[in-house]
Structures are given as C-alpha cells and as structure tokens.
Structure 1
Amino acid sequence: MPPEQSRTPPGGRRGLPLGASAGRARARPWPASRGRAAAAKAAKERAELERGIRFRSIYLTIMGVVLAVAAVNVLLGSVGLVQETRSRPLTDSERAAYVAQDVARRWHAWPVGMVFPEELQYVGFDRAQQYARRVGVAPEAACAAVVDAPVASVLRRHGCLTMLRATYVDQTSTFAVTVGVAVLQDEQARADAAAELPVDDRVGVRPVAFPGTVTDTFGAAQRQRTGWVGAGPYIVFSTAGYTDGRSRDSIPLEEQVNNEMWPVAESIAGRIARALGEPPDVPRCTQGNVC
C-alpha cells in the first residue's frame, strides 16, 4: 500500500501536527482607535494650556490692580505732601495757637533781662518820667512756697508751675517793690485761678530782700499793699513797702492812700505783665509772609 501523503491545506500552507499550538499573532489597533487617542491627547494639552493662560490672566489682572492702587496711593500722597508743604495763609485757629504758644514759652525762653528789665519807666505824681531800678532777681521757686497761705491754696489747686521774682526800687530808692510772676498751664487756668484769689491787699507774693542793698530790711512786716494783674498764662503779683523798714501799722491810712508807692508798684508790675502777654507778630503764611 503506498505511503500516506501528507495533506496540505489549501493555500499551500501545511497544517500543524495535531496537538501543536500556534504562536500568538500581534494585534493591530484599528485606525479609528489611533485617531481617538490622538484627539484626546490634544484636547488634554489644549485644556492644560487654556488653564495656564487663564491663571496667568488672573495673576496679571491682580498684579495690575495692585500696581494701580499703589500708584494711586503714591500720587495722592505726593499731592498731599505738596499741599501740606507749600506755603499757605494761616487759619484763625492756627494764628491763635501761634500766639498762645509764643506767649506761654516766654518765661523760660526769654533771658532774665527781658522778663525783669534792669530799668522800668513809670510816671510820678508830677507827670515826670522816672525809672525804677532792679535790685536783684531771686531763684525760681515753687508757687506755694513764696506766697501767703490763702493765695498758695488757689495756685496749688490750679496747677501753678513755678514762680519768678525780682525786687525793684523807685528812682529815689524810697519804695521797694517785689514782683512775682506765677506761671500757670494756660490762659484758662490763669483766669480760673485769678477768679478765686482773695480780695485782700495784705496777702500775695512775699517780699524779697537782698542783703547789702537798700532792700535788706524789706520783709513781710514792711509791705504796705499787694496786688496782681493777669496776662496770658501769667499772674503778675506785686508787693510794695518802704526801704527804711517802716511797717504797715506805722503808716497813717491817709499817707497809705495818697503817697506815690502804690502807683509805682502798679506801673512796674503792669509793664512786666504787658511785655509777657503782648501778642507777637504772626506770619501771614505757613512759611513766613509769602504764600
């Protein structure tokens, strides 16, 4: 019997032996699948790009707003600085404040010779111009320590800061006059204190005597009259007596009223008060007199 021929399947390929497994063939993606993947990738990249552009736009917008606000603030600050520093007319309140501050600082800003001049002019009974001479200036003292008790309580209650004192004699060296400048915190405090001062010409600032001068016997017993006058934040006290040691009790009332002592004392204290309280020349503008 002839040998059995192996059968070849149609197409010329020989069949595999029974039980043999064929090698796995590589799957090829469909063209449509490749297109969808590329489109999805492109869409993702485009979304990320759009998101980045959107974030960048928001950032730039925020930065623009911040810079704009900063520029406006700088501009407004520059305008305000220019307006504040340029010369302009003083307001009424600024003028009043300038005067008050200048007057209030005089007691310590002025030299002694301006607060208590060496000579002060006064008018005698015969209308002749005469001059009182400064004998000495006492050290600065606490207000309550150099006035009588009824006056001390008033000054203490209204916050008196300090007391400046000097003693003068008239042109004939017959009368001695001690002037005391009480420094209050401001003009209102001075007015309030003055309204409460006792109406008594026997109390006020105490006399200051200077040994070796014509005033060395001028003490509390020798003072004849006391008084005061207000100016700005100051109460200017005065007390007058004889330089020869005569006491108040030894002088007849008629002589006390009719002699020249008290007009001299009032004139000296009044001139000192007017100088301390005289309003200064106020500039018209914030930077002088040119606006």
Structure 2
Amino acid sequence: MRARRSIQGLPRAGGESTPGQRNPLGATTGRRSRVRAWPAANSSRRTAAKQRAELDALQQGIRYRRIFVALLGVIITMSAAVVLLGTIGLLDETRARPLTPAEQTKYKQEEIARRWQAWPATGVFPEEVKYLGLDRAQQYARRVGIAPETECGKGVDASVAGVLDDHGCVTMLRATYIDQTASFVFTVGVAVLKDEASRVSATGELTQDDRVGVLPVAFPGTVSERFGPDQRQRTSWVGAGPYIVFSTAGYADGRTRASIPPEEILHPELWPAAKSIGHQIAYFLADPPKVPPCTQGNVC
C-alpha cells in the first residue's frame, strides 16, 4: 500500500501534472501567461529613421564646415592684406629715392658734428695752416704739438668755462702753432658742443673781453715752452657748426701782456695771424660735406 501511494504521488509520465498542481517555479500549470508580447517594429521604418538621423547629422556637419571655412578664409585674407601692406611700406621706406632738403641738411649736420671723433687729431689740427702776413703775403703756421683731450672747464678761463658748462660742452681739443718766423705762438682750442643750437646759445653769452678765452698749451723743448696765460696778448673765438674755435696769441720770447705798451698790443701782424689760424681750423671742421643725391648712394 505504501508503495502504491508513493507511485500515485509522482507526476505523470511526459511531465504532465494533475490539474491545480504547481510546477517547480511556483506557477500553476495549465494557465496562460499574463505578459503581453510587443509587436515587432517595422524594419523599413527603423531604417528610414536611421537614415534621417544620419542625414541631419551630415547636414549639420556641412553647415559647421562651411562656417569654419568662411572664417578661415576671412582670417587668411586679412593676414595676407596686413603682410602685403607691410611689405609695400617696407619697400617704400628702403627703396632708393632722392634726398629731401630736410634730409640733406640733417646729413650735413650729422657729418660735421662727428668729425672731431671720426677724424684723427692731425685732421682737426693740420700740420700747417695758412695765414696772411705783412702786406697780405700768404704764410704758413707750423704745428708744434697737440694737447691731450680735456674737460671744457679745464681748457679755458673760469668765466668762459661757466658758459660752456651751462650749454652742455662735451670736450675741449687744443693744439699750439708757431708762425713762419718763429716769433709768435698761437694756441687754438676747439670746444665741442652737443649740437649747433647749443653752440649758438653759448656764443650768445660769451664775453667780448679779449683777455680771457682758451688757456695756452706750452710744449717743453720747443719755441712754445714760455707761452702761458700771462703771455697771452689777445684772445678771440668763432662759431662753426657745433664747435666754438678759440685762438690766442703771444710772443715766443715770453713777454707778458702787462709788459707790452697798450699801443703795441694791437700789433699789425700778431693778431691778424692768430685770427686767421683760428678761422682756418673752424673752416676745416665746418666745411659742408658732399651730400649723396639718393638715400642709397648716387643712384636712385
């Protein structure tokens, strides 16, 4: 009996169960599933939607690309225009062309202003300088020596030094000459100012006292060795470009100004010779240079 009950409790062959009996997952057998099956989407619609999305993305990319290309074109065009204008300006600035009157004047001023540095000392103070002697006979003063470059205030009297310093004097160059007969001694001093305008201002304030000016330079062992401040008979100056050229004269035998009678100080040969030598030095320094006709030489 026990064996039969056990057999009766087993499920039927083929996996069938009795009505109302539950399957191992807990669901009652013999009933329909309550989950509704969704109908399958139409494949053609899905394909069309995908194509529309791809087309929209492509058109948007094309629009962005067109905007980018347009902006890039504008940037390139503007850059090319800037480069072209710069190139034109550079070529116009550097090309050879005739000098304007203002440029010619500036060229002359700059050339004259740098001569005291560009030239050797023997160029500023030549070995021989022409002057007019008695009966206006042409004679030559010979250079005895060139003094070391010095500060402006140390090469002139104190009253003159103040004027030069107030107007920006750069340096003082001096040299000593003797006349053709070795009877007279001359010291020429070149005061270098910053520019011609400064020189004009300075000369407007210089005194006309012929007892003060450049200090003499004596060279031992030469005819000039006895030439000092007390031996100066007269002094003068002349302006040329940015330079003030001073000159002073005395006797080679050492006579002082105080020892010479007033009427003899105005010696007919001593003083004209001194002025002539000073003017010759000034002429050399301020002689206008030849100006090239074009900005790059002689060919425009």
**Which 5+ residue runs of structure 1 have no aligned equivalent?**
1-16
Q: Which whole-Å deviations, capped at 9, do the CAs of 1:49-106 have from their partners, x for residues lacking one?
A: 1211111111111111121122222222222232222210011121111111100000
Q: Which secondary structure state, in structure 2, belongs to the residue aligned with residue 216 of structure 1?
A: helix
Distance, in Å, in 2 between the alignment partners of 1:30 and 1:251 is 137
Matching residue of 2:250? 241
Letter of the structure 2 residue corresponding to residue 96 of structure 1: T
Amino acid at match of 2:103: E
Distance 2:74 2:123 in 1: 62
Secondary structure of the equivalent of 1:275?
Answer: helix
Q: Which of residues 254, 258, 270 is equivalent to 2:263?
A: 254
Could you tell me how far apart the structure 2 residues matched to 1:228 and 1:43 are?
A: 101
Query: Once structures 1 and 2 are overlaid, which stretch shifts more, 231-240 or 34-43?
Result: 34-43
Corresponding residue number in structure 2 for 1:12 = none
Amino acid at match of 1:181: V
Does 2:98 align with 1:83? no
SS at match of 2:175: strand
Residue equivalent to 2:153: 144
- C-alpha separation in 2, matches of 1:142 and 1:30: 107
Q: Please, which runs of 5 or more residues in structure 2 have no aligned partner?
A: 1-18, 21-28
**2:52 is the counterpart of 1:49:** no
Q: Does 1:28 align with 2:15?
A: no
Matches of 1:128 and 1:25, distance apart in 2: 141
User: Following the alignment from structure 2 to structure 1, what is the Cα–Cα distance between the partners of residues 267 and 147?
Assistant: 30
Question: Following TM superposition, by how much is the alpha carbon of 1:39 offset from its aligned partner in structure 2, in angstroms?
Answer: 4.1
Match of 2:233 in 1: 224
1:65 aligns with 2:79: no
Amino acid paired to 2:31:
S
* Separation (CA, whole Å) in 2 of partners of 1:185 and 1:101: 11
Q: Report percent identity of matched pairs.
A: 58
Letter in 2 for 1:22: R
Match of 1:272, as an amino acid? I
Query: Offset at 1:35?
Result: 5.5
Taking the aligned partners of 2:102 and 2:286, their CA distance within structure 1 comes to: 18
Task: Give TM-score, length-normalised by structure 2.
Answer: 0.86
Q: 1:95 aligned to 97, 101, 104, which one?
A: 104
Output the CA distance in 2 between the equivalents of 1:84 and 1:159: 34
Q: Is residue 2:182 matched to residue 1:173?
A: yes
Q: Which deviates more from structure 2 when the two are superposed, residues 73-82 or residues 273-282?
A: 73-82
3-state DSSP of counterpart to 1:193: helix
SS in 1 for 2:54: helix
Which structure has the greater CA radius of gyration? 2
| Counterpart in the other structure of 1:7 | none
Structure 2 residue aligned with 1:157: 166
Aligned mates of 2:36, 2:56 — CA distance in 1: 38
Change (3 A) 1:131 1:39: same
